[in-house]
Amino acid sequence: MVQLGGLSMSVPGVFLVLELLLFLQVVAPVQSSARQQWPVPYRRFDRRPDVDPYCEALFPFCPTGDRDGRVPVMRDGDLISVYRLQTPVWEFKYGDLLGKLHIMHDAVGFSSAESGANFTMEWYELFQLGNCTFPHLRTQQLAPFWCNQGAACFFDGIDDAHWSQNGTLEKIGEITGSQFNDMARWVQDDNETGIYYETWTVRSDPGPNATVWFESYDCSQFVHRTYRKLSELGARLHSRSQTNYTKIYLYSGEPVFLGNDSAIFGQPALRNLAEDIRKFYHAFRPHQSFTDLAFSLLEAYKKVVLDHNFYLYYNFEYWHLPMKAPYVRITYEEVPLP
């Protein structure tokens, strides 16, 4: 043990702190040139990258949708009904189990008065939620490997039973075919430039005046963006019930920027920091046995609750979150229609 200012720290802990200080000496001038913006803006890209062959989905993404993400063109004078859709996550496998915990999936439905055709539009993970929330640790590379993409899916039909049995299927407005076509062009641009899924919303505390450090980017956020766009196009949306959505929060003090893969995992001087990030994510690795999972849960509890430590990957960069109570919380809160 080593004494630092009256604090006892292990030798590896001292090295980690020194490395963080060394790294911040390099990064601080860049970060301080402009005041940090909170929440950190979600980064958009020029185009969607190709999928790495290593990443595999347990269930295929958008199996009945158009392979190129195309949306049918409506006649300008058509009248299109807009539906709010919500169902428990993995309802097809677990029924209402996750619904009882208010862990819900959201989508938007459309129905053409002219043709009678129905459509469903949603946005979700290409490789399931776990792969978008935590990385894989590969022996041949030091940096964690992320299978993290999310995308829009547009397909024919609305499965009435799927959405209404344990969730919500409610008409909330009408738009013209012209407004629908404008929305479709916006969806395709949004889908091409917003490429990755983000599970967590990170706040300073649960209170109403809390600082939001990072916003999530998930299925409900896509629905909110779509509603706002429809409102901008002139749609009037109204729900007879309270419009609640699932949010998964982390609570922390002010985050510390660490850098991207090359800055952290390509610098020998930051080897201990790189290894600490890998050790953190080791507790959340996929495909664990029941015994390993039990130990991993204890390890995760120690890191997050006892050590107040969390590494967040956002905009393809790492941040350190100094965690604080209540640490993690799932809420089901109202987000009014625009």
Structure tokens at 264: 């952290």
Known catalytic residue: 55?
A: no
CA–CA separation, 151 vs 66, rounded Å?
13
Strand pairing report for 317-334 and 256-259: antiparallel
Distance CA 326, CA 124 (A): 27
Instruction: Name the catalytic one among 132, 153, 219, 320.
Output: 219
Active site residue 105: yes
Q: Which amino acid is at 17?
A: V
Catalytic residue among 102, 105, 136, 153: 105
Q: Which residue pairs from 305-314 have beta carbons closer than 8 angstroms and sit at least 24 positions apart in sequence?
A: 309/280, 310/250, 310/252, 310/280, 311/258, 311/277, 311/280, 311/281, 312/200, 312/202, 312/214, 312/250, 312/255, 313/135, 313/144, 313/146, 313/148, 314/40, 314/198, 314/214
Q: List, in sequence order, the alpha helices (H) in the chain.
A: 11-32, 91-94, 128-133, 160-164, 177-193, 219-232, 261-265, 271-282, 290-301
Q: Report the catalytic residues.
A: 105, 219
